[in-house]
Structure 1
Amino acid sequence: MFYPMMINVKNKKVSVVGGGRVAYRKVKTFLKYGADVKVISINFINKFEKIKDKIEIIKDKYTPEYIKNSFLVVAATSSKETNEKIALFCKENKILCNIADDIQLSDFIVPSSIKKGDLIVSVSTSGKSPLLARKIRKEIEEIFPYEYDDYVNTLGETRRLVIEKCKDEKRKNKLLNELIDLDLEELKKRREKYEDCSRL
């Protein structure tokens, strides 16, 4: 059973074994979240040319040496045997591993996600139907049509002020619940008000 969680991959070593469409899609996503990505494959689709300056490319067949120092690994080759070898090596060396075509061998799966600034919404069917997860993601995306960066940052700053300055737990919970019903301009006014207070 998969536990839903968020993992910080910024500047972490991520290895992707495979040079096809699935591998490319995984690499693009890891780059979006600031990972230090290495890709191992003998052959690569042309799209990798667009991102070759952002990743380490190793044109070779898989060997354990290439992934031994990884924080996490994605196996996306067309060889079931190779993917199984990668999964076994990762388990023996306590490296988180995702096998693109085998949920049973995977330590984690990647949900279908929407990223609007710091707002991230993920949908998963626990591997049962990625297409359904994608469909639901698109429906949710229509609810959040623009970047939420400014809103989420302002909300986070105001929340921090409430937590730091309000010592009464009941009142603190009341103030925090009020925040999520405010629009951006109201939030900014509330933040300015709380900044001027020594305590709430």
Structure 2
Amino acid sequence: MGGYYPVYCDLQGKPCTVVGGGQVAERKVQSLLECGARVTVVSPTLDTPRLREWCQQDLLALLPRSYRPGDVAGAFLVISATDQAEVNALVARDCRARGIIVNVVDAPELCDFIVPSVVRRGDLVISISTGGKSPLLARLLREELEERYGPEYGILADMLGEARRQLQSGVDEQVERREILLRILNAGLLDLIKSGNIPRAKERMQECISSPLG
């Protein structure tokens, strides 16, 4: 058996450390910030304009020097994104000694977790992973999914979430709730959202909720 366990992790307010200050580190920092993490970057320099801007805006904390053992203390998770193999290996060893999960970019053998390619449409998130074997394939699949699933799917997910909340408080039977949600899914809401007629989509959703089954 073996392989990776797919899981979505709540990073809101949690301390996360990124080692490195280049473009790869920037992408990792951006993803962590989007999830609400408290990010610390360890790097002698910030080599991209966006990293410098985030630092100036106090969106991240900076340790402006090369990595030292102990710099990851207190972190919930760590990403090492330097171009120095010896530094990345040191970070991985330090994290394991402290019981902190670590990702080392382009070195799956040093990773406790890997980061999938992701398509985000609001709260709808689609993840693609090859277990670290082919990032190129994961990227190509992500691009296909980005074309297939546009922003309208995020809006639909929000509407279905609202419908589910209403049904949980107003309909006792789980089977009945499921039937109503299926009715909503088959009511053409997606086409209305795509055409920009979101108010009508919401009206139709309410009609599906209020109309009796059968």
Give the structure-1-normalised TM-score. 0.87
- In the alignment, the residues of structure 2 paired with residue 138 and residue 70 of structure 1 have an alpha-carbon distance, to the nearest angstrom, of 32
Superposed counterparts of 1:87-166, under 5 Å: 87-146=92-151, 148-166=153-171
Q: Which residue of 74, 78, 81 maps to 1:73?
A: 78
Residue of structure 2 equivalent to 1:32 = 34
Runs of 4+ in structure 1 over 6 Å off = none
Deviations 1:61-112 (A, max 9, x none): 1123321111110011222222122112212222111011211221111111
Q: Which residue of 16, 33, 50 maps to 1:14?
A: 16
Count residues in correspondence: 196
RMSD between superposed Cα atoms in Å: 2.1
In structure 1, runs of 5+ residues without a counterpart are none
1:154–1:191: 8 Å Cα contact kept in structure 2? no
- In the alignment, the residues of structure 1 paired with residue 85 and residue 20 of structure 2 have an alpha-carbon distance, to the nearest angstrom, of 12
Q: Which residue of 35, 48, 61 maps to 1:46?
A: 48
| C-alpha displacement of 1:14 | 0.9
Residues 43 and 2 of structure 1: CA distance in aligned 2, closer, same or farther (over 3 Å):
same
In structure 2, runs of 5+ residues without a counterpart are 194-199
Residue of structure 1 equivalent to 2:205 = 190
Deviations 1:115-152 (A, max 9, x none): 12111111111111111111111111111232544322
- In the alignment, the residues of structure 1 paired with residue 165 and residue 142 of structure 2 have an alpha-carbon distance, to the nearest angstrom, of 30
Residues 147 and 30 of structure 1: CA distance in aligned 2, closer, same or farther (over 3 Å):
farther
| C-alpha displacement of 1:188 | 4.2
2:119–2:126: 8 Å Cα contact kept in structure 1? yes
- In the alignment, the residues of structure 2 paired with residue 137 and residue 148 of structure 1 have an alpha-carbon distance, to the nearest angstrom, of 15
1:74–1:97: 8 Å Cα contact kept in structure 2? yes
Give the structure-2-normalised TM-score. 0.82
Residue of structure 1 equivalent to 2:197 = none
1:74–1:100: 8 Å Cα contact kept in structure 2? yes
- In the alignment, the residues of structure 2 paired with residue 147 and residue 38 of structure 1 have an alpha-carbon distance, to the nearest angstrom, of 34
